[in-house]
Amino acid sequence: MEPNPCLACGACCVSFRVSFYWAEADAAAGGVTPTELTTVVSPYRVAMRGTDQAHPHCIALEGEVGVQVYCRIYQQRPSPCREFRASWENGERNETCERARARYSLLPLAPALSTVK
């Protein structure tokens, strides 16, 4: 099994706004993402702090992008983070992942040999 490329990347966490429905935050019944790490975007949306800036950087990201990173709220991360896939995960290219990696001069991920036809 290949190591998770996201553990040495983090480019998506410092490239895009992470906004989601406010009820995913722990202030709502059933919500899990820490409210204190979010900022209000609209009456129904919040964003991870730091991602709503010209140069985004998620407050939950620890480490050095492109070297070694981790999310300090991984088990409580919001849906955009849970749904985001590294390029070639499940055999599918993700141009958004590749664009984020390119912003930090990281090479695109290569498809696993098992997905090449």
pLDDT confidence tier of residue 1, bands split at 50, 70 and 90 = low
pLDDT interval class at 117 (50, 70, 90): very low
Question: Which two structure tokens, joined as six digits, stand for 69?
Answer: 């990173």
Q: Which residue has the tokens 């620890």?
A: 62
**How far apart are alpha carbons 108 and 100 in whole angstroms?**
9
In angstroms, how far is the first alpha carbon of the chain from the final one? 19
- Say what the pLDDT of residue 44 is: 97
Residue 3 has what pLDDT?
Answer: 74
User: DSSP alpha helices (H): ranges in 1-117?
Assistant: 79-83, 95-103
- Each residue of 24-44: pLDDT tens digit? 999 999 999 999 999 999 999
